[in-house]
Every structure is written in structure tokens, then in C-alpha cells.
Chain A
């Protein structure tokens, strides 16, 4: 079965420090991978995606993610965290012939001043 795993329910980071939110995937074929962010009482907003090409992809608000095929991972990173980055982050994968978009359970990022 296809799946996306986010092993950390919560990540705590001090403002100005680098942050990493982890994601691993299990999908058939070449995966399309995504990160979304959700602020309280809002819908999901797209951050970045990996389709093909360079393993390091850059997205909105200074976020980037590294695709690692051998480790089946797609970790989200930011060099210097902001308090305003505090939100719920979701990793997702598009796999299979039907285009079924699968989400991880989400990781709550808390950035403290």
C-alpha cells in the first residue's frame, strides 16, 4: 500500500535556528512529492514540490526540501526559522496510475522567540 510517513508529531525550534521536518514515502513508480502548510482554521497552502530533476527544490517563504531516492525521503528544511513559520506541515505524495494524492499525518512546527 502506498503511504507517507511523518515520524515527528511536533518539532520545536528556536527562532533563527535551522529547522528540518522529516518525511518518508512509499509509492509505486516515480513519486511526485509535495509539502503543504496549514495555519489555524485555514486550508492547506502549497509550499513546494519535487517532480523530477535537481534533488534540492526551493519553495515559498524560504523553505526547501531535499529528495533522496535511496532513503525514500523528502525532508523539509529552512536555514533560519521565524516565529511566523509556526504551523502544521504536511508532506504528500502523488503515486499510482489514478493520481491519488496521499498525505502524511502532519508535523506541528513550533518556533519560539
Chain B
């Protein structure tokens, strides 16, 4: 099994550009998450989706939108990138029955 797959692995954007980070899981998990990781800040939750068709804001949702396209896919969109969004982004999924979350390898985004 591939587990959780994120694309792209690296991205450089100019301020004001838009992009979508893709995430797919093949474990039939109900819950999916998007986090950003910044030095000294740990992982901060941007958005999560407890099940297909539902999304909820996390700790730092401003400047982001998400789409739970189906049970497998959960995308994160930056409509107008800002330098403050330079970070490493992680997608994760879990099955609430088991509760252990599995993580993708991360997307390193730089906004210049």
C-alpha cells in the first residue's frame, strides 16, 4: 500500500500566486487532516475532515481552503500565497476506530 501520498514534494511560489496541494490515501480512512510545520511551532492543524463531505477549521485556517473530493482525496488550496505561508505541509489520515494517523512525506512550500 502507498499509504498517504502528497504532491508536489517541493514548490516555490511568488506572492499572490495560487496553488493546490494534493493528498490521497488508500487505507479507506474516514478522517483526513492538513497540518503545517514551522520551526518551534510544532504541527498546527489547518483544516480537517472527519468524513467524506465534511470539513472543519483547525487552529490556523486563514488563507487556505480545502476540498474533500471523495473518501480518498483531500486537497488544500492557497488562493493568494503570502510569504507567511512558507512552511512544510503534511497531510494525514486516520480511521477513528483505530485512531492512529498516517502521514504523507510532506510538501516544502516557499513563497517569495
Residues of A within 8 A of B (CB): 6, 9, 32, 34, 36, 41-46, 49, 51, 90, 92, 94, 98-106
Contact check, B99 vs A49: say whether CB atoms are below 8 A apart: yes
Query: B99: which of A32, A41, A102, A104 is its contact (CB, 8 Å)?
Result: A32
Contact check, B90 vs A49: say whether CB atoms are below 8 A apart: no
Inter-chain CB contacts under 8 Å: number: 62
Query: A105: which of B31, B41, B45, B48 is its contact (CB, 8 Å)?
Result: B41
Least CB distance, A78 to chain B, in whole angstroms: 20
Q: Is the interface of A mostly helix, strand, loop or mixed?
A: strand
Contact A100:B90 (CB < 8 A) given known A46-B102, A49-B99: no
Among B13-21, B65-73, B103-111, the stretch that binds chain A is B103-111
In the bound complex, how far is the Cα of B33 from the Cα of A34, in angstroms? 16
Contact check, A104 vs B48: say whether CB atoms are below 8 A apart: no
Contact check, A43 vs B103: say whether CB atoms are below 8 A apart: yes
Contact check, B42 vs A106: say whether CB atoms are below 8 A apart: yes
Least CB distance, A5 to chain B, in whole angstroms: 10
Least CB distance, A106 to chain B, in whole angstroms: 5
Residue B58 interfacial (CB < 8 Å): yes
Residue ID in chain B nearest A44 by CB atoms: B103
Q: Which residues of B contact A51 (CB under 8 A)?
A: 99
In the bound complex, how far is the Cα of B40 from the Cα of A9, in angstroms? 8
Residue B26 interfacial (CB < 8 Å): no
Query: B56: which of A90, A92, A94, A98 is its contact (CB, 8 Å)?
Result: A98
Q: Which residues of A contact B103 (CB under 8 A)?
A: 36, 43-45
